Amino acid sequence: MSTSAEKNRFLKFNLITIILLFGVILAGGIVRSTGSGMGCPDWPKCFGRYIPPTNSTELPADYKQKYVAGRVVKNQRFAKTLDALGYNELARKIREDRSILVPEEFNAGKTWTEYLNRLIGEITGVFMVIVAIFSFTYRKENKLIPFLSIINLLLIVFQAWLGSIVVSTNLVAWIVTVHMILALAILALSIATYHMARAGGKHVLNVSPITHVVTLLTLIISCLQIVFGTEVREKIDAVAGHLQGGYREDWINYAGAIFMQHRDIAIIVLIANVVLYALIRNGFSRHGIQQQLMSFTFLMIMLQIVTGILLSYWALPPFAQASHILLASLIFGAQFYLMLNLYTSVSAQGGKR
């Protein structure tokens, strides 16, 4: 049995990791919305330095040719992977994509934006290693906690590699969606291990089946909304590239049906959460964590609507894009944690905790 101090240590580091994961999602949203993905063309250093440059005089004389060559090599390796998986046509397009040969111009703002994104990601990775190590204090009580912690550590490594592919390739738009889904999976696993360690014991459903079903459906709808949102982002990126970054106020108009679908699902998300709130209010105490989570979710939804309006009518301001994706992940996290808290912990003797 793990001691109380060991439990508190795991819970503390797991909670910090969850907070950092939201920070990673925000930082990634800022990088994406500002086009800073290639702000640091190499890894793990940035322009060959541990502290990135602030002006062009600090750059190597041949940096453009050097980093374009590195990008080509990375994309060729990825094309080989796609060939092995049977995506031969996509691999061919990546090999023939000439746009990757156009060097990125140095921009100190974009460089530091990407550098800070990497820094947050690396710090999060360190904390996930620590959490995975500390999770073994539960190896006798709940083997699922260390198992999921190790799986999560492997996922974050894969996610880091996938992120490099997102910014390196120009043709594989669907990777953005996969990247976001994987981020939510990592977040969900961290929340799940935190809850299992905090609650302890076995668990039984403490609400009516209809409340459980509505909670699950609401969570699924929110996930679908996030997927549609990333597809909107992919479409916007394609439009922005076609218009060479100009006419920003027209990007939404060219987004097509996917934007309308994203907006319509937002209405369904709101209705589903209203229904869920009514069920939670009838089934749990006013001061219970379940109602607190629902109140938090509604606050995030209202803020999400505000950022959605800003994106639609104010020419997609970058701060609203980053806020939009962060709020979506906070809604997902709150709803997932709510679903976990629909179960009551039961001790080995059969009493409820």
| pLDDT for position 350 | 39
Predicted confidence (pLDDT) per residue in 19-58, tens digit: 999 999 999 889 888 888 888 888 778 888 889 999 888 8
pLDDT score for 74: 84
Strand partners, 203: 345
> How far apart (Å, rounded) are the C-alpha atoms in residues 286 and 146?
34
d(CA 324, CA 210): 30
**Rounded CA separation 263/35 (Å):** 24
Residue 349: per-residue pLDDT: 36
Q: How far lies 318's CA from each of 32, 59, 101, 119, 310, in Å? A: 9, 27, 26, 21, 10
Rounded Cα distance, 190 and 216, in Å: 18
Length of the chain: 353
Q: Is 12 helix (H, G, I), strand (E, B) or coil?
A: helix
Give the pLDDT confidence score for residue 284 in this predicted structure: 86
Q: Which segments of the chain have a pLDDT < 50?
A: 347-353
Q: How far apart are CA 252 and CA 184, in angstroms?
A: 26
DSSP 24-76: HHHHHHHHHHHT-TTSS-SSSSBTTBSS--SSGGGS-TTHHHHHHHHHHHHHH
Enclosing H/E stretch for 138: none
Query: For the chain, which residues make up each domain, given as ranges?
Result: 1-200, 201-353
Cα separation values, 25 from 186, 230, 337, Å: 11, 13, 18
Burial degree of 169 (CB within 10 A; 0-12, 13-18, 19+)? buried
Dist. CA 255–CA 234, nearest whole Å: 9
pTM over 0.85: yes
Q: Which residues contact 210 (CB under 8 A, 6 or more apart)?
A: 279
- pLDDT at residue 136 in the model: 94
- To which H or E segment does residue 247 belong? none
> Which residue type does 12 have?
K
List the structure tokens of 180. 């976001």
**How far apart are alpha carbons 270 and 280 in whole angstroms?**
15
Q: Tell me the one-letter amino acid at 242.
A: H
CA dist 53 → 35, 253, 272 (Å) = 18, 38, 49
- Specify the CATH number of the domain 201-353: 1.20.120
- Read off the tokens for 33: 């919305």
Query: Looking up tokens 């809850």, which residue turns up?
Result: 195
pLDDT (0 to 100) of residue 102:
78
- The answer to whether 353 touches 345, Cβ cutoff 8 Å, is yes
Q: What is the dihedral of CA 7, 339, 295, 220, to 10 degrees?
A: 130
Backbone angles phi, psi at 324, to 5 degrees: -60, -45
Render pLDDT for 142-201 as a digit per residue (tens, 0 to 9). 899 999 999 999 999 999 888 877 777 765 667 778 888 999 999 999 999 999 998 876
Task: Name the phi and psi angles at 127, rounded to 5.
Answer: -65, -35
Compute the distance between CA of residue 127 and CA of residue 107 in angstroms, rounded to an integer: 31
DSSP string of 291-342, one letter each residue:
HHHHHHHHHHHHHHHHHHHHHHHTT--HHHHHHHHHHHHHHHHHHHHHHHTT
